[in-house]
Structure 1
Amino acid sequence: MPSGLGPLARELSVPYYEDAYSAHDVFHAMRVRDVALRLADRHPDSVDRGVVAAAAWLHDIGRPLERVGDIDDHDEWAADEATALLDDADVTPGRIAAVEHCLRAHSIRASSPEPETVEAKLLFDADKLDATGAVGLVRLACIVGERSGRTGDQYAVIDDASRFDGPGPDLPDIGLLREWARERLDALHTAPGRRLGEARWEFMTDFFAQFTRETGATES
């Protein structure tokens, strides 16, 4: 087994992502790890970087199972699975509990508990920030495609639906991506996360303006 909690969690998590779609794959986990550690460097409080890194690698290991309906809640499932994995690897109970809390509290779902530790807040923020900026726009579009594939029906229209002259699908349009990103930015917990988020939001604002020009839509 690798030395260090972060490298250990990386090794343990990789097989779980083999069937993951691109929006929640191992590269997403790696980006979340990288951003979470960057935010930790800028946070005034002491941070257990190993817990942050481990939680980032493990936070979405249940996504492939949730996508096909084998589990209902990837947060809860990942927390239980990670606890067993880390216990088998002789990680100390205190650090296991810290990772477990991060996993249970990382989602924006109303049913998820609030992150209470600095490590959990950093994971939450880094995960939400991966839905913003240039990478975030690609991920959000992938999620639209993923949801369309899961239901068998189109999930959203990547255009301004109000421009269509005639009966069209009653679906969300490009504004959905803006709403998803803004919702996540408004939920951030840490000052470093909010600063990074607003910088990424500036890019997204420029992107949506360019999108409007390209489609010939009228900006709202």
Structure 2
Amino acid sequence: MSSKFPFVRLELPAWFEPVMEKVWLKMNDDSTGHDFLHAVRVMELAADIAAELGADQEIAMAAGLLHDYYRKEEKQTGRLHYGPEAVDELRNEFGALLVPYLNEDRVEHVLQAISRHEEYPFAGSEERAPLSVDEQLLQDADRIDAIGAIGIGRTFMFGGAHGLPLADDEEWSGGVFDPGQKPQGSVYRHFYEKLLNLSDGMHTSPGQRLAAERHQFLVHFVKQLEYELKLDSR
């Protein structure tokens, strides 16, 4: 456990704490569900999965902590600042902190994982290159934090921050989730467009195991939400 960040359960190398502090200063007041504690949870999930698979934990930690660093600018400007859009900015902003300890090649693995973390198999049919282990780890960790009780709470934070209603006025018949599109629809729609599809796309065996339990909780919640909104009678 870090003495400077007591809510972090992982043992952090000393060189990593300045990175953590920089991320905290930027993300601690986020209200969209992509806040500093989300970054910490994804960092720890990615490190846990990496340890179980024998993968590079430091790459997993760095990618998890930095993957949503520009979400605040995204909301402020309406432009996308995650994934591929963030790579050059992250390299400029964190290169001096990371390269002396990870080396340039491993930092590029971190940035490449971040560049692909918003690719979803249910979001269109575009052909993409196979994912590396580092990319799989980040995707799994980020998506685990989007389901279960935490995922539900984050979904309502996200909807409120973007002015989305709880549910649509008219019946929704389904649609394709587009991570590059400005948030629209409703919180209820977001469960079907994205969250209920995430567990089927886990890449690693630890990710699949961790997602399965949270997915069942999510299914139960959505059924109860539909009952209370009387959506089940449509």
Please give the range of the TM-score, normalised by the shorter of the 2 chains: 0.7 to 0.9
Percent of aligned positions that are identical: 27
Does 1:93 find its partner at 2:107?
no
Structure 1 or 2, whichever has the larger Rg, is: 1
The CA RMSD measured in Å over matched residues stands at 3.0
Pair 8,182 (structure 1): closer, same or farther in 2 beyond 3 Å: same
The alpha carbon displacement at 1:101 in A equals 0.8
CA distance in 2, matches of 1:217, 1:158: 9
1:1-220 equivalence runs, <5 A: 3=13, 6-18=16-28, 20-43=30-53, 46-69=54-77, 71-89=79-97, 90-91=100-101, 92-108=103-119, 116-148=131-163, 155-158=164-167, 172=186, 174-218=188-232
Aligned-partner residue type, residue 133 of structure 1:
G
CA distance in 1, matches of 2:191, 2:79: 26
Aligned-partner residue type, residue 12 of structure 1:
K
Q: Which runs of 5+ in 2 are unaligned?
A: 1-11, 172-184
TM-score under structure 1 normalisation?
Answer: 0.77
Q: Secondary structure at the match of 1:33?
A: helix
Contact kept in structure 2, 1:209 and 1:219, CA below 8 Å: no
The alpha carbon displacement at 1:115 in A equals 6.6
Contact kept in structure 2, 1:29 and 1:58, CA below 8 Å: yes
What is the total number of aligned residue pairs between the two structures? Answer: 204
Q: Secondary structure at the match of 2:159?
A: helix
Contact kept in structure 1, 2:196 and 2:218, CA below 8 Å: no
Q: Which runs of 5+ in 1 are unaligned?
A: 149-154, 163-170
The alpha carbon displacement at 1:157 in A equals 3.1
Q: Which runs of 4+ in 1 moved over 6 A?
A: none
CA distance in 2, matches of 1:129, 1:97: 24
TM-score under structure 2 normalisation?
Answer: 0.73
CA distance in 1, matches of 2:94, 2:78: 23
